[in-house]
Structures are given as C-alpha cells and as structure tokens.
Amino acid sequence: MSPTTTTEASAERKLARRRGAGQRRTSLFAHGEPLVWLTGGALALAVVMILGLLLLVLRQGLPTFWPSEVVQVSTVAGGVHAGEVADVDVYRPEAHVLDALPEAVAARARASLAERDGLSERRMLRTGNYELTGTHYTWVSDFELAEETRPEWILVVERLENGRFYGTPRSIAVQGTTTEGDAQLVWDQFERHHDAARERWQVKRELETVEIGEVNRLIEAARLELREVELAHGVDSEPWRAAQRELEQRTHSAEAEFQRLRREIDALTEAGRGSTLTLVSADGASTTLALEEIVRAYPANRLSTAERIGVYLSRLAEFLFDEPREANSEGGVFPAMFGTVLMTLIMAVLVVPFGVLAALYLREYAKPGAVVSAVRIAINNLAGVPSIVFGVFGLGFFCYIVGANVDELLFSAKLPTPTYGKGGLMWASLTLALLTLPVVIVPTEEALSAVPRSMREGSFACGATKWQTIWRIVLPRALPGIMTGMILALARGAGEVAPLMLVGAVKLAPELPLDTHWPFLHPERSFMHLGFHIYDLGFQSQNSEAAKPMVYTTTLLLIGIVVALNVLAIWIRARLRRRFQGSQL
C-alpha cells in the first residue's frame, strides 16, 4: 500500500469518527420528531373535542321528536303515573325517603340498597296532565315500584296549552253526536274529525292575525296621516279637516270589514263548539279537550315503525316551519331561524364593504408610520373586546342617539312610540358588523399583500392608474382572501347572543321583519334569533326538563345553518380561486 493510500484511509477514518461523534451529540429535538408528535397530538385532541361536542348535540338532539312508548307505573304508596321515560338516574336515597314507605317495603328497600352499596336507580317520567297534577315530570325509584304496564290504548296528546296529556280515550263528541265506550271506536272518530277541526282553527287564526291585522294596519296608517297633517298645518286647518274626513271614512269601512270578519270567526267557533275528546288519566281523573286545541295525538304503544317515523317527520316539520308555543318549549322555531339567517346576511352585506375599504386604505394608500401602526394595533385589540360591550355601544349609539334622531326627523307622527329608537334588525346587524369588522380587515390585508408586486408594476407600465390597478388587478386576485374574512365573520356573527339581547332579539316576535307590505323589509322590527332562543329555553323556561331536548335540537339547527352559510361561501371562494389562478397561467 502506498503512503498516499495510507494517508487517504486515515483521513477517511478520522472523518467517519467525527461524523459519529457529531451524530451522538445531536439532540433528538433537532430532528423535529418530538415536536411533530406534540403538534399532531394537539391537533388530534382538538378534533376529538370538536367531534365529541358534535356527537353530544347529535345524540341529544336527533331523538327529540321520536315517539317513545308510554309506561304506567303503580307505586307502593298507592300512586299511579303514566308517561314517557325522559331520563334514568342512579342516586343515593336519603333516610327520610325510606322512612316514609310502609315498613315491609322499607325493609326490602334497605336490603336491596345494602347489596348495591346504597345506590338506587330512578326514572323520570314525563307525566304531563299539568292542570291535574301541577307538574310535568315525576321521579319513580325502583324500590317504590309496585307494578309496571304499557296500556294499549293510552294516548299522547300534544295541545296548544298546558303541555302534553296522557290518558285513555273515553268518549268523543262531534256536532251533537257522542261516541263512547270502546277505545277503538273513539279513536276512529277522532282520526275522522280532527283534521277538519284543525283546519277550522287555522282559518280562524288566519282571520284573527292576518285579515284583522290588515284592517288595523289601514286604520293606523290613516291615523298617522292625520297626525302628520296636524303637525304640519295644525288642528282645525283645512288639510287637517280633509285628513279627518278621510280617517272617518276609512274607519267606517274598516269597522264594517271588522264586523264581517268577526261574524266569520264566530261562525267557525260555533261550528267547532261541542267537538270534544274526553280522556281518563292514569289515576282515574277525567278531562275534556276541544278537538281544535289538540295539535297531535297518537296511541304510543300501538304504533308501528312506519307510524313512528310518520310522527317523527310531522314533529320535525312543525319544528322547522311553525311558530313556537308553550313559552317556546313546544312548536317550531321558524321565526327564529328566519331572523337568524336574515340578520346574518344583512350583517355580511354591511361588514364586507367597510372591511375591504379599510384594508385597502391601510395596505395600498396609507404611508407606514406611527399612526398606521396604532390603527392596526387598535384593530387587533378590537377583536378581543367582549361582545356585550358592542351591545351596550349599539344600544346607546344606534338606538338612543341615531334611532331617536331618525324618529324625530321621519316618524314624528308616531312619537312617543319609537320606531327606530329601540332595538331592531338594522341596529342588531350594524352592531354585529362592528363586532366582526376586525375579522374581515385582517384577512383582507393579508390577501392584498399576497398579490405579487410585479402584477401591479405591469399594470402601471400599461398606463393604468392606481385605482384601475386595484379594481382590475389587485381586488379580483384578493377575492378568495376577502371571502375567507367573510366566512369568519359569518361564523362569528351568527352565533353571537349577548349583543342581540340589547339591540333587537326578543323572546317572541309576532311579525317577521320581511313581509308583503311596502317597503317589504322592515329593519326597525324586533326579531327572533336561534342563539337567544337557546338561551331562553335553557335558562328562562318554566318547564326546563321539557325544554332540554329542544335546546339540543335548536343548537343542532343553528350549527347546521352556520355550516350551510360557510359551505356556500367556501364554494364561492373555491370558484374564484380556480378562476384567477387559471388566468395567471
């Protein structure tokens, strides 16, 4: 072996030793594997938490409308209860509960509890029949149970008032003809006549709310015209006398129309008088219900799977398209769903132009300096302000200052009743637009800065002005980023509740903000919102247990609406991105 070869081999061995030493000294964190596992694990945990929340809402919300069987239980104390099992709980009974039982039963209960470490199982029955019992639910422990049955002909009756009624049909009276005795005959007669009774109720409600409401609206419009003439020309002036005569004519014709509608309503009421269903509760008490007051009835223990699906779909349709009843714990949420979507869309229409203009000025026109830096810091800090603060600002500025001045200028005839000087759809949308403004500005600025400078310079080289460059080159290519800001604003604004409690959302709104009367969209009206509806159900309902399933179902609906709006915006963003990426190629 030559000296040169020996020297090269020695150098290679030294280099290999140095590499080995270097590998041994390299920290494991330098390769990134622990951080990869840490970040991946954090992402997995976040996904699991989100999926867990969604599964909880789905698990509690989807079965809300499923008709379950009705059980009838007899207790050792002699009580009889019938209802649907709403909850099952394991608890530790207190001593006084056992002392109240008969001696033999108490002894068996103590022996059973001793075997189960003092724990007992109890079921919460939704017993309804509020006018008879004064409660909607009853707890029955396993040691109190004497007998449990599932009566074949017990009915679940959903009513306009007082919640559900559970009882066995005894008789039905329709137009002077009474059918009693056999439950099957009574049920057949109920199915034959109930739809007609509900149609009469729907027609009567239409007359009372829509037709009579239109008469009152015309009278009120004439009264306001007279008031406007009075403010402009004074009392006893010639224009005022003409307006007074016009008001008297309208009032006379409206009174005649009102009497005609009243006669139709009385005729419908008389046609439905005496159409009743008599039920016997589990404890033997008898109750008579008017057919038109019964929203839905079914023999729970006789339903087939197809019939249960039919009841489920009927309840679901009622939930989506009807108005609420029973202090919002029953019925539908259509006004709240409509108000949520309309308010969110108006908010998006208001916030996106202002956000884009502000971002354009900060990115394209403003010179870097202390003032621009302070504005950006203020925008970032604004995103962290509690939402209730925006609600207080909206109430004080929009309602009490702007709205009051608008009423003075344009609606003085209605004063002292406020028109815009109170919470309404417009002020709620503007308040949430301010709340979500930083969410739009920041992504828009990032999107504008991502447009290559070479495209701007090429536009300038072709002779375009700065605004032409922004309008035709910069903004189109920044649209996907602007849509990202709008998506974030939609998600943030649709779920906000605290500001809306101060600037427009109410428990029940008799009129929708959108109708067939000019100007069709009425931004001064209060509205219902799903977020506020959830709060009202969960914390202000007189029947919290009955409202609990509706809370989860309404939450599921709100999540679905937000997802639908976001999916629509994401689809538009994807189309814009494909369009402008293709044009760059």
Q: Domain residues of the chain, as ranges?
A: 70-150, 167-309, 335-511+522-584
What tokens appear for 219 in the block?
Answer: 């009278």
Contact call for residues 182 and 323 (beta carbons, < 8 A):
no
DSSP string for residues in 348-378: HHHHHHHHHHHHHIIIIISPSSHHHHHHHHH
pTM above 0.95, yes or no: no
Strands (E), 244-381: 276-280, 286-290, 294-299, 324-325, 330-331
What tokens appear for 371 in the block?
Answer: 């003032």
What tokens appear for 477 in the block?
Answer: 């290519």
Contact call for residues 107 and 143 (beta carbons, < 8 A):
no
Q: How far lies 457's CA from each of 230, 453, 480, 583, in Å?
A: 64, 6, 22, 17
Q: What would the 3-class secondary structure string for 39-70 be?
A: HHHHHHHHHHHHHHHHHHHHHHHHHHHCCCCE
Angle between helices 334-360 and 530-540 (to 10 degrees): 130
Cα gap 499→163, rounded to integer Å: 32
* pLDDT (0 to 100) of residue 1: 47
Q: How far lies 320's CA from each of 68, 313, 325, 331, 462, in Å?
A: 21, 11, 13, 9, 56
Contacts of 483 (CB under 8 A, 6+ apart): 569, 570, 572, 573, 576
Cα gap 247→244, rounded to integer Å: 5
What tokens appear for 209 in the block?
Answer: 């709310």
- Residue 300: DSSP 8-state: G
* pLDDT (0 to 100) of residue 516: 83
Contact call for residues 123 and 102 (beta carbons, < 8 A):
no
Q: Is the dihedral of CA 133, 138, 141, 146 positive or negative?
A: positive
| Domain spanning 70-150, CATH class | mainly beta
Contact call for residues 421 and 398 (beta carbons, < 8 A):
no
Q: Considering only CA atoms, which of 318, 304, 287 is closest in space to residue 67?
A: 304
H or E element in which residue 488 lies: helix 475-494
CATH number of 335-511+522-584: 1.10.3720.10
* Per-residue confidence in pLDDT tens, the chain, 585 aa: 455 555 555 656 665 565 555 555 556 555 667 778 888 889 999 999 999 999 999 998 999 999 999 999 998 888 899 999 988 989 888 888 888 788 878 888 888 888 888 888 999 999 989 889 888 889 998 888 889 999 999 999 999 988 899 999 999 999 888 998 889 999 999 999 999 999 999 999 999 989 999 999 888 988 998 899 988 888 888 888 888 988 899 899 999 999 999 999 999 999 888 899 999 999 999 999 999 999 999 999 999 999 999 999 999 999 999 999 887 888 899 999 999 999 999 999 999 999 999 999 999 999 888 999 999 999 988 888 999 999 999 999 999 999 999 999 999 989 999 999 999 999 999 999 999 999 999 999 999 998 988 998 899 999 999 999 999 999 988 988 898 888 889 888 988 899 999 998 999 887 899 888 888 899 999 999 999 999 988 888 777 777 888 899 999 999 999 999 888 888 888 887 787 665 543
Which 3 state secondary structure label does DSSP give 87?
strand
Q: How far lies 111's CA from each of 118, 229, 346, 399, in Å?
A: 9, 86, 65, 66
Cα gap 54→221, rounded to integer Å: 49
* pLDDT (0 to 100) of residue 568: 87
DSSP percent split of the chain into helix, strand, coil, nearest 5? 65, 15, 20
Cα gap 282→279, rounded to integer Å: 10
What tokens appear for 302 in the block?
Answer: 């006789």
Which 3 state secondary structure label does DSSP give 265?
helix
For residue 441, count other CB atoms closer than 10 A to its CB.
27
- Given the structure tokens 């760059």, which residue do they identify? 584
Q: Is the dihedral of CA 102, 107, 109, 110 positive or negative?
A: positive
Cα gap 221→517, rounded to integer Å: 12
Cα gap 76→93, rounded to integer Å: 16
Cα gap 19→27, rounded to integer Å: 14
Residue 223 falls in which region: left (phi positive, over 0), alpha (psi -120 to 50) or beta: alpha
